[in-house]
Amino acid sequence: MSSRGGRQSMSELRYRRLLEHNQRLREDLARPRIRVSEAAASLIRYCKTTKDHLVPSVWGPVTKAEDVYGQQKSGGGCCSIQ
């Protein structure tokens, strides 16, 4: 009798996993999608309009005021002792 209970619980577990998987698939199906050509065009537009300071060969030299990766002017160094 215990073997029948074991088979039934395995079937229930398998059924529950199938339901969870089915729910995940439904959520994936409901996710909004765009075409690859639209995504590529959007990425190209972003790359052309967003200045990247790490690629000066494309965008030219960066002034000290614009350089977000340069040394920041701070009051007394990088550390404070309390």
Is position 39 within any domain?
yes
Q: Which has the higher per-residue pLDDT, 4 or 52?
A: 52
Can you tell me the distance from the alpha carbon of 77 to that of 82, in angstroms, rounded to the nearest whole number? Answer: 14
Measured CA to CA, the distance from residue 9 to residue 27 in angstroms comes to 27
pTM: 0.46
Residue 34 counted as domain residue = yes
Is residue 2 in a domain?
no
Q: Is residue 55 one of the residues assigned to a domain?
A: no
Task: Report if residue 71 sits inside a domain.
Answer: no
Residues of the domain holding 19: 10-50
- Whether 82 is in a domain gets the answer no
- Residue carrying the six token digits 């590529």: 40
Q: Is residue 56 part of a domain?
A: no
pLDDT confidence of 15, banded at 50, 70, 90?
very high
Q: Dump strand ranges (E) for 1-82.
A: none
Q: Which residue has the higher pLDDT, 67 or 18?
A: 18
Mean pLDDT of 40-51: 90
Residue 68 within a domain:
no
Q: Report the domain count for the chain.
A: 1
